[in-house]
Amino acid sequence: MPDQNSCDVLIIGSGAAGLATALRLSPRLKIHLISKGRLYEGSTRYAQGGVSAVLDPRDSTASHAEDTIQAGAGLCDPEVVRMTVERAPKAIGWLIDEGVQFTRDDVNNNASGYHLTREGGHSHRRIIHAADATGRAIEDTLIARLEETHRIEFFEDHLALDIIREPGRPNGRCVGAYVFDRREHRVKVFRAKAVVLATGGAGKVYLYTSNPDVSTGDGIAMAWRAGCRVGNMEFIQFHPTCLYHPKAKSFLITEAVRGEGGRLLLPDGSRFMHNFDARGELAPRDIVARAIDHEMKRLGADCVYLDISYKSPDFVRQHFPTVYERCLEFGYDMAREPIPVVPAVHYLCGGVVTDTSARTDVEGLYAVGETAFTGLHGANRMASNSLLECLVFGEAAVEHIDSYIDGIPPPPELPEWDESRVTDSDEEVVVAHNWDELRRFMWDYVGIVRTTKRLQRAQHRVELLQREIDEYYGNFRVTNDLIELRNLMLVAALIIESALGRKESRGLHFTADHPDTDTDHPPRNTILGHSPDGAWPTGTTVRQARS
């Protein structure tokens, strides 16, 4: 039998959630961390804005919680919100202790000593940031710290394929994962006492997204196949302002540009956001994205414009150096002219159902970050609460793992991946065509504004493609593209089913057939689970707290 990689904790994903979890685990534990690409290739690296936390005495955790709950449109879990905002200052302190260089404020005598900005949905300045490249600063620092410890083994270019549960036990605990080595083109077995999913979101299920290419919903799909429930998959956040340019690949223009006074303009130069919300450009992202979508469709325009050029050039270059330089590469000087922007898929508010210790329905399996549905974001994530969630729930997972893992026996030898009845494919074009079709119909039919008819069309198409991919998967050796496409097909099906089950408009889910929010019944989350015979889904229910 080939050697099987064995450890105490297997972490799948190398963004903020995975790195923070790995760095906080006890030094006595053997930890393996796998990354689909290079360690630096996750969504965290592209997070520009910052991390929300109450660091100013004029602010309060009660206000942070209230803003979060208001943005969440009635679906935030108050207990989870309270836990997260109360732990936020400590999480920022931990990052500072680890060496993250946040932008200082030497002008306004801020009590925290750091420059705090304000973003959509926030009633105070509470976004701590490292210029406009906060994600990069956090990721670079945490990776450097992990490399200094010499106690964590990294496996780059490894794509997790499926979770392994105890053989012979239908409800057995998680004991590892099958992992595809992208360099050697073979499947390996990783054994572990505990597995943490930190694989990020699923932006690549849509044609236009601010997410990197690795965001293919792998953790959500693996958890579902392992028997976990998923929640609130219909709530897809479209970032309102991504650079509009054929070669920009949906480069995100940070929310902080609007937080510092950036104005949204129509092609004729007129402002329009106050026609949709009294908060104007500082309204939550779902409102801003729908307003832009409405105006583009009304006018037949390819884009709208974001203008902060009325500020001094020094202000623009100092506050947004990364965005400024990137825009210059595409021929736009944001210090002197408005820049063209459009909405693009940015964040998935739903995911694998977890409790406040990041536990999933499968014993020994955890989910942290965008992969998870914790109850923090509700129907709409408030700006800069995402990195915060990674830090807080990474710590919560560590606390639980450290409390029990010494009593767990080492995982047994596990069955190797069976390729005895498959062959190499000579039809890779099938994968490429299906990938393209999926992303296009998701954009057309399951986008910012939905209808029942569009969703039913999308459901019919995804069912046909799933059958085709399942047949392909059963007959040919796995490849990177096939694994990702299989996961995206499943995630798309979960999104569509969730959207069809919500007969109202709420937060990020807007359907023209039910444009009003249901006020006759208590707000409910959408939870999809497995029926006893293995069929899915069980439909929409009120989210139940895990015992």
Is residue 228 situated within a structural domain? yes
Closest Cα partner for 228 from 90, 373, 391, 67?
373
- The tens digit of pLDDT for each residue in 511-538 reads 999 999 999 999 999 999 987 654 444 4
Q: Which two tokens stand for residue 37?
A: 């690409």
Q: Is the dihedral of CA 459, 461, 467, 471 positive or negative?
A: negative
Residue-level pLDDT at 534? 47
Say if residue 160 is in the same domain as residue 196: yes
CA distance 445 to 459: 10
Q: Is residue 253 within 8 Å of 119, Cβ to Cβ?
A: no
Residue span of the structural domain in which 16 resides: 5-234+349-406
CATH code: domain of residue 132: 3.50.50.60
533 in a structural domain: no
540 lies in some domain: no
Q: Is the pLDDT of residue 1 over 80?
A: no
Tell me: do 187 and 253 sit in the same domain: no
Which residues, other chains included, contact 71 with Cβ-Cβ below 8 Å and sequence gap of 6+? 121, 284, 378, 380, 381, 382
Question: Do 125 and 25 sit in the same domain of this protein?
Answer: yes
Same-domain status, 43 and 169: yes
Model confidence at 543: pLDDT above 50: no
The catalytic residue among 126, 136, 285, 439 is 285
Cis peptide, bond prior to residue 537, ω within 30 of zero: yes
What does the mean pLDDT of the chain come to? 91
CATH of the domain at 478: 1.20.58.100
Q: Is residue 536 part of a domain?
A: no
Residue 382 burial (CB count, 10 A): 26
If asked whether residues 243 and 354 sit together in one domain, one would say no
User: What CA–CA distance (Å, rounded) separates 166 from 409?
Assistant: 12
Indicate whether 520 belongs to any domain: yes
- The answer to whether 339 touches 243, Cβ cutoff 8 Å, is yes
How many domains are contained in the chain? Answer: 3
Max CA separation in the chain (angstroms): 69
Check which CATH number belongs to the domain holding 273 and give it: 3.90.700.10
Q: Which long-range contacts (CB under 8 A, 24 or more apart) does 540-547 make?
A: 540/498, 540/501, 540/502, 543/77, 543/231, 543/353, 543/375, 545/355, 546/353, 546/354, 546/355, 546/359, 546/361
Q: Are 176 and 249 members of one domain? A: no
Same domain, 227 and 244: no
Together in a domain, 269 and 309: yes
Per-residue burial over 58-84, b = 16 or more CB atoms within 10 Å of its CB, e = otherwise = ebebebbbebbbbbbbbbbbeebbbbb
Minimum mean pLDDT range among 109-123, 126-140, 317-331? 109-123
Same domain, 59 and 116: yes
How far is Cα 206 from Cα 256, in angstroms, rounded to an integer? Answer: 25
User: Is residue 417 assigned to a domain?
Assistant: no
**Half-sphere exposure of residue 291, counting CA atoms within 13 Å on the CB side?**
25
Tens of pLDDT, residue by residue over 258-306, are 989 999 999 999 999 999 999 999 888 888 999 998 999 899 999 999 9
**Range in 109-118, 165-174, 178-187, 480-489 the model is least confident about:** 109-118
Q: Which two tokens stand for residue 421?
A: 């009845």
Q: Residue 324 corresponds to which tokens in the numbers above?
A: 């400024």
Same domain, 123 and 13: yes
State whether 301 and 382 are in the same domain.
Answer: no
Q: Are 376 and 524 in contact (CB under 8 A)?
A: no
Are the beta carbons of 149 and 207 closer than 8 angstroms?
Answer: no
The pLDDT tens digits of the residues spanning 143-186 come to 999 988 878 999 999 999 999 999 888 789 999 999 999 999 99
**Position 539 in a domain:** no
Same domain, yes or no, for 75 and 120? yes
**Residue 285 falls in the annotated catalytic set:** yes
